[in-house]
Structure 1
Amino acid sequence: MNLAITVPLNTFVKLMHELGILEYKNFIKHSFQVAKLSKQIAQNINLDYEPEQIYLAGLLHDFGLVLKASVENYELFKDIFRNTPDIEKVVLALDKKDQHSLLSNLVTSKIQFVNPDCSKALLYHHMSGNEIGESKKIALLANCIKAADTISLANMRKKRDELSAESMEEMVNAIEKDRGLFEEVKKASLEIIHDYTKIFDLLDERDDFSSSKQLSLKDFETGAKLIATLMDLRSPYTRSHTFLVTRVAKQLTAELMSEEDSRFMTVAALLHDIGKVSTPLEILHKKSSLNDKELLIMRRHVVETHRMLSRAGIKAVADVSASHHERLDGSGYPAGLKSNETTIYMRILQVSDVFSALVEKRPYRDAVSLNEAIEILEKEASFKKLDSQVCKKLKELINNGYLDEFFTNRFTHVLEDLFELKFNEIDTIFERDFDGWEGLF
């Protein structure tokens, strides 16, 4: 494979847009409204940042809300994210102290294709402009996001999907009453609301993003981590799944192939379950065996993974990511690929996914031990379902203690991967914010 692969920045935005379903429907809708509105407000006041960077800041401004809500109060997260289009109520119910702004800043600061100023502005997107102790430029950007957030929240409160005179009036009132907005930001916001050539497009379902920028796999990986986190946070049973699959697949690829190959494998592993966003939680959480129709819905996720990644412009990744349930004897799905139709990337991902699923708890069974998992893998390899060389290499890694540390409080390692900080640094940051933090792991 040509490892000089680049990924369009458009791909990241398209994949974020694909997540707008089920629990994330309202969250993603709000995120894209804020992205488009922030960019337009900033352009109207001639703010000197690249428009695509302002867009990304608006798009990612509330990521921390999902992280905080799912970790701290999963049952409330599951209910309120699915059933409450009024995002302001979500914030008031799940984050009264506005801690999600800090989380959004910390995570986006590690995304290589996000301007550091844009990441920093997320810290202040709920603050009054005059209270922001940064440069005027950053304060203005944060204020643009604040205004965009205010407009979107007012729009999301409407009871009908279409934009009405009443909802437009509510948007105007919300902006006029907000004393935390700079005058130039307030003026630009009101002009946009009253501009019938723009406001309807800014509040519709489209992503309306276009960039010629190409990302290296290394840089794109930092954004793929965020997408993987959104996927895994949907369920407590998958909270560390993607990061474990990725850790295993990355190391196996480095051992069997090269470090360069492992970069591609990392991206494919991070996105392998993205199609599961369309799988209802009642199926993911069922405590007994799935019936035939439920099984069809569950298996559909690999088809969706391939379609979503292909639509986003990364078919080479799609082919690998969507192969994790294939088996070398042709008994897998969705394509029933046989040994001669699979690549080493696919084989590594298959072993990594099976192993990770075995050592994780599921609603219908407990996790198995590392040794039991290896025995099951070896049995599958003897039946020509999984690659024996890959299974052998994984056994060597396990015997050498490669995953011992990960299996001690494994979710802390997910957070370390995401924030690129040691957990004691994260714990220090959140010690006063997260009640019962230690009990989560």
Structure 2
Amino acid sequence: MKRLNLTIGRVMSVMLRALDQIDVRLVDHGHRVAYIVYKMMQASGAYSLREMQELVIVSSLHDIGAYKTEEINNMLRFESDDVFDHSIYGYLFMKYMSPLSNWAEVILYHHFNDNHYEKVNAEKRIRDIAVMIHLADRMDILMQSSQSLQQAMDDLDHQEYRFGRDAISLFKKANKQIDLGECIKNGSYLGELKEMLKHADFSGETMMKFIHMIAYSIDFRSETTVTHVVSTVSISLELGRLMGLEEEDLEKIELGAYLHDIGKIATPLEILEKPGGLTQEEMRIMREHIEITGDILKGRVQDEIYQVAYRHHEKLDGRGYPLKLKADQLTMNDRIVAVSDMMSALAGKRSYKESFSKEVVIDILQRQMDSGKLDQSVIETAISNYDFIMECCRINTLRITEIYHKIKSEFKVIKMEMLGLI
């Protein structure tokens, strides 16, 4: 993945930009919380550079489980009794889909008050960071609501039951070493975070796991789309191999396919899960996911990867969207992912339909080819190798389906346990 210039800085930029789309009020919130936690860790002197790099990433993603507007409302009012859902989902995603699963419990407890910990068996290292995130979360929300840092710090003196004396003292020490409010206000904190993460030595495999996490967190919003991304990736790669593409093109296709629906993080769940056909207005909103995908990826990944993701609804006859590109403007990589996305959608179950049979899928693909909408060579390869491609797809989606059901069942158990602690 190094030849695709996939650095941890770029991956983090994609993930955080995607999370920004959940709610306008959360824009850059993850960055700011991570920065405050970073400066607190520095002030403590108890963390290695590697630990700080990992925990800055974890802190940045502390809201990865937040999908619902009503829960975000509670988060921003800091009503911690009502924000466990996103903490639990975030914990489970970090546990099962992240290379930083050893820090997953930090996400689970990041809305726990200090006086709750006597009821749980959390390691000190987990508790310390969870409390830092909890405090940093509070400070950022207060500062973004037009309070000055000094006003927010004055509020801390009455919050010892929530954050504990040690974390409050550490925050004040960090702020004494550097004016946190000013660094956040003038934007210099972003440069500090970027510089610190620039030296993080994560493997390409590790960074792909982060990409998987954000891609699956979008699919997992709806049970009917839970395997769409991974099936699109699987079909794309098998088609690419069958058509003799070079390894570098396969890597570009893989990344583009993983990211092609990242903009759906902003699509209302009631539209994603609507059982019937969409109205004209709902279809307009659904189609906005392409523009949002483009906004998230532009300048953060290689142009060819961005294009593969952004163009997956374009047609050869110029009647696709959003750019209405024509055949001579679409690469083979673009064409393969467009066909794969359609195959995945047709063969998969949706809120508005059951899975289509092989015969129906092939008939639709054939008609798309005959009408000049999708590439003939890609469609012919897909049809002649249909059983093989879809069997590979079935195998590749098994693990994701298992994880989805595990997350779903564990969520219910953990929610009941946590409600019993407060």
TM category (shorter chain) comes to: 0.7 to 0.9
The corresponding residue for 1:73 is: none
Find the residue that maps to 2:179 and give its secondary structure.
coil
Following superposition, the deviation at residue 8 of structure 1 comes to 2.5
The corresponding residue for 1:337 is: 325
Amino acid at match of 1:199: G
Following superposition, the deviation at residue 166 of structure 1 comes to 5.2
Following superposition, the deviation at residue 242 of structure 1 comes to 1.7
* Residue pairs, 1:12-411, within 5 angstroms: 12-21=11-20, 23-25=22-24, 30-50=29-49, 51-63=52-64, 65-66=65-66, 78-86=68-76, 89=79, 92=82, 94-95=84-85, 99=88, 102-107=91-96, 110-111=98-99, 128=117, 139-140=124-125, 142-153=127-138, 156=141, 160-163=145-148, 167-174=152-159, 176-178=160-162, 183=166, 185-192=167-174, 197-199=179-181, 201-202=183-184, 209-210=193-194, 211-213=197-199, 217-256=204-243, 257-258=245-246, 260-281=248-269, 283-285=271-273, 287-291=276-280, 295-400=283-388, 402-403=390-391, 406=394
Whether the aligned pair in 2 keeps the contact of 1:47 and 1:141 (CA below 8 Å) is no
Q: Deviations over 1:72-129 (max 9, x none)?
A: xxxxx63523543437546645449x75575254246x43xx5x76567657765859
**Structure 2: tracts of 5 or more residues without a match:** 417-422
Aligned-pair identity (%)? 22
Following superposition, the deviation at residue 231 of structure 1 comes to 2.4
Whether the aligned pair in 1 keeps the contact of 2:21 and 2:27 (CA below 8 Å) is no
Counterparts of 1:215 and 1:155, CA distance in 2: 29
Following superposition, the deviation at residue 406 of structure 1 comes to 3.0
Following superposition, the deviation at residue 212 of structure 1 comes to 2.8
Following superposition, the deviation at residue 236 of structure 1 comes to 4.3
Counterparts of 2:163 and 2:358, CA distance in 1: 57
Of stretches 305-314 and 396-405 in structure 1, the one that deviates more from structure 2 is 396-405
Whether the aligned pair in 2 keeps the contact of 1:34 and 1:148 (CA below 8 Å) is yes
Of stretches 271-280 and 200-209 in structure 1, the one that deviates more from structure 2 is 200-209
Whether the aligned pair in 2 keeps the contact of 1:381 and 1:391 (CA below 8 Å) is yes
Counterparts of 1:358 and 1:386, CA distance in 2: 15
Counterparts of 2:161 and 2:306, CA distance in 1: 47
Amino acid at match of 1:106: K
Counterparts of 1:428 and 1:278, CA distance in 2: 25
1:414 aligned residue (387, 394, 400) = 400
Amino acid at match of 2:70: I
Find the residue that maps to 1:262 and give its secondary structure.
helix
Counterparts of 1:297 and 1:99, CA distance in 2: 29
Following superposition, the deviation at residue 197 of structure 1 comes to 2.0
Of stretches 212-221 and 47-56 in structure 1, the one that deviates more from structure 2 is 212-221
Q: Deviations over 1:206-237 (max 9, x none)?
A: 85531435866544321111121232244444
Whether the aligned pair in 2 keeps the contact of 1:325 and 1:333 (CA below 8 Å) is yes
Amino acid at match of 2:161: K
TM-score by length of 1: 0.74
Where relative contact order (Cα < 8 A, 6+ residues apart) is larger, the structure is: 2
Find the residue that maps to 2:3 and give its secondary structure.
coil
Find the residue that maps to 2:6 and give its secondary structure.
strand
Whether the aligned pair in 2 keeps the contact of 1:99 and 1:433 (CA below 8 Å) is yes
Counterparts of 2:20 and 2:3, CA distance in 1: 33
The corresponding residue for 2:419 is: none
Query: Over aligned residues, Cα RMSD in angstroms?
Result: 4.2
Q: Deviations over 1:263-318 (max 9, x none)?
A: 32211111112233344445545544432x65444434323323321232432210
Amino acid at match of 1:81: E
Find the residue that maps to 1:103 and give its secondary structure.
helix
The corresponding residue for 1:71 is: none
Of stretches 223-232 and 392-401 in structure 1, the one that deviates more from structure 2 is 392-401
CA separation of 1:405 and 1:6: change in aligned 2, threshold 3 A:
closer
Of stretches 316-325 and 125-134 in structure 1, the one that deviates more from structure 2 is 125-134
Whether the aligned pair in 2 keeps the contact of 1:20 and 1:26 (CA below 8 Å) is no
Counterparts of 1:4 and 1:62, CA distance in 2: 31
Counterparts of 1:327 and 1:219, CA distance in 2: 34
**Structure 1: tracts of 5 or more residues without a match:** 67-76, 436-441
Whether the aligned pair in 2 keeps the contact of 1:172 and 1:190 (CA below 8 Å) is no
Counterparts of 1:43 and 1:129, CA distance in 2: 27
CA separation of 1:335 and 1:105: change in aligned 2, threshold 3 A:
closer
Q: Deviations over 1:227-269 (max 9, x none)?
A: 2123224444433322221222122223322555433221111
Following superposition, the deviation at residue 147 of structure 1 comes to 2.0
Find the residue that maps to 1:223 and give its secondary structure.
helix
